[in-house]
Amino acid sequence: MASIVIDESTLEISNRKSITGEVYFQFGDSSFPDSNWNDFVVVILTWWNKSIKLLETSSVGTAQDFNFMDGPFYVHGVKKDSAQISLHFTRRNKDGLEVIASLDTEIESLKKTIAKASRKVIKEINAKNWVTDDVEELKRQIQ
């Protein structure tokens, strides 16, 4: 099973109202893209919520990417059957694509993991009184 690690203490807001913080996948002893990966956490969680919802309602064989904004990393998800998804932790490089790891998990489990990470980020952002269009969009995704 894959989990999403969020470190709320790393959340920062820029002058342009972009919110960054540590966000990465963890499975077994591995982290992807890396432990302590810092990225545009609100934007990517919004994307991931949309991607998992599309996979949940799509036909078997449908693929969706769970992208990171920074770096050449993403997770390629393929719907295996009505309940399972194959995740391929992938890095783009000059020679093409490198699949670093793969695992199968339940769609519902991944959906709950993404929603939990999203709620954790929103709770911290609300405590800091940060209001942005990106935050409002993330809130809409988990309602």
Task: Look at residue 141 and tell me if it is in a domain.
Answer: no
Task: Look at residue 142 and tell me if it is in a domain.
Answer: no
Q: What is the pTM of this model?
A: 0.95
pLDDT, tens digit, 9 for 90 and up, residues 25-71: 999 999 999 999 999 999 999 999 999 999 999 999 999 999 999 88
Q: What is the maximal distance between C-alpha atoms in the chain?
A: 44
Domain count, the chain: 1
pLDDT band at 119 (very low <50, low <70, confident <90, very high): very high
Report the C-alpha gap between 10 and 76 in whole angstroms: 26
pLDDT band at 1 (very low <50, low <70, confident <90, very high): confident
Task: Look at residue 139 and tell me if it is in a domain.
Answer: no
Q: What CATH number did the domain enclosing 69 receive? A: 3.30.2450
Report the C-alpha gap between 109 and 119 in whole angstroms: 15
What's the domain range around 112? Answer: 3-134
Task: Look at residue 44 and tell me if it is in a domain.
Answer: yes
Output the CA angle 10-104-29, nearest 5 degrees: 45
